[in-house]
Structure 1
Amino acid sequence: MQADLDRWFIHEILAHEQALMAFLRRHWPHPDEWHDLRQELYTRIYEAASRTLPTQPKAFLFASARHLMADRLRRAKVVSIEPMGDLPPSHVLVDEVSPERWCGGRQSLRRLAQALDRLPNRCREVVWLRRVEELSQKDVALRLGISEKTVEKHIAKAMRLLADALFAGEPAPAPTASAPGKAEPGHGRK
């Protein structure tokens, strides 16, 4: 079976390599990626043909090339929302955490939980699956029965709302040591 598939691939797909490269040169603006595109395309076609041979191999080859280029363009447009820059390490020894720092961390976590709770249901669900359960964008879309584009929109909306809730409002009060019986600023009594 493998030898038959190899022969089919050579005669039906590799026979069009020159036309394929001309097609990629005409339609893909990055010359340094032409060979990578070709190899990825060959891999996709070989894997697909191992399941079912296409009835029109040449048409399948060029349609697959268009789809691959469209996928690459879509991926290039996705903007990462991962944190940037050097962040202080979050792993510290327990004896290094002062009561003030511990309290400040608890307050920040409480504010984040409240901000998450105020998100619209679908946004909250998408953020949870994407950031907490660490599912891929595609898996989130499949699980919720929505498009990947909709997942992107929910993430963007949620990030804006969370940023507004956490940073645009009044700054969180600095943790202070208060005497017993006295309320901390911003909490309890007015």
Structure 2
Amino acid sequence: MSTVDHPQVESSLEGLLKQVRPRLKTVFTRYRIPPQDTEDILQQALMALVYRKESIRDPEAWLVGTVRNKCLLYWREHRRKLYETVDAAVLEVVAGPVGPDQERAHLRHDLAQALERLPERCRSLLWMRYRQGYDPPELAERLGYSPSSIGKVTTRCLAALTRHLFASGICRRKTE
């Protein structure tokens, strides 16, 4: 449905946006959403508003709340991608040649130091994952976790490892 086909919807959205824009700007600032991504988040929220407008009593409050939730989802997705990147990089380092032998030795040493600073359960889990090649069901069985919870435990351990890698300067945040 195009708002051009329904001018009253377009004008009501424009009025709503004009009224709520200062609050939305505060939400985007509070959640530190990069300017290039704020418009996408707002577009998603507005599309949801248009599809659900019949059941929404207070469109302004609903829109602000929805944008707030979408900001949280934005950062969760960002974190998930970061952990997946670290996971893939660690697997690559321990799997084989990444560069010259000396560089690989330094990377392995730095990684071992970061792993040493983790709690015992994370050290065990990540050691078994990276050095011994266990997959999630095997990890769950060996470490006494339920198969449904091993993913969350692994993510928490990857998060802790990622924090240590950034804190020690081994990894640097990508700036775009």
TM over 0.5, yes or no?
no
More helix by share: 2
TM-score, structure 2 normalization: 0.44
Larger-Rg structure: 1
